[in-house]
Amino acid sequence: MVVSARSARSPPDSDKVQKDKAGQTSGRRQGSRMGKLLGFEWTDVSSWGRLVTLLNRPTDPASLAVFRFLFGLMMVLDIPQERGLSSLDQRYLDGLEVCRFPLLDALQPLPLDWMYLVYTIMFLGALGMMLGLHYRISCVLFLLPYWYVFLLDKTSWNNHSYLYGLLAFQLTFMDANRYWSVDGLLNARKRNAHVPLWNYAVLRGQIFIVYFIAGVKKLDADWVEGYSMDYLSRHWLFSPFKFVLSEEMTSLLVVHWCGLLLDLSAGFLLFFDASRSIGLLFVSYFHCMNSQLFSIGMFPYVMLASSPLFCSPDRKSNPLRGLREERWVC
Is residue 242 part of the annotated active site? The answer reads no
**Which residues, other chains included, contact 192 with Cβ-Cβ below 8 Å and sequence gap of 6+?**
61, 178, 179, 184, 330
Residue 180: which of 257, 317, 74, 69 has the closest Cα? 69
Coil, strand or helix: which one is 58? strand
DSSP 243-291: GTS-HHHIIIIIIIIIHHHHHHHHHHHHHSGGGHHHHHHHHHHHHHHHH
Please give the Cα distance from 178 to 224 (Å, whole number): 45
Catalytic residue among 16, 19, 190, 218: 218
**Which residues, other chains included, contact 70 with Cβ-Cβ below 8 Å and sequence gap of 6+?**
301, 302, 305, 308
Coil, strand or helix: which one is 195? strand
What amino acid positions are annotated as catalytic residues?
218
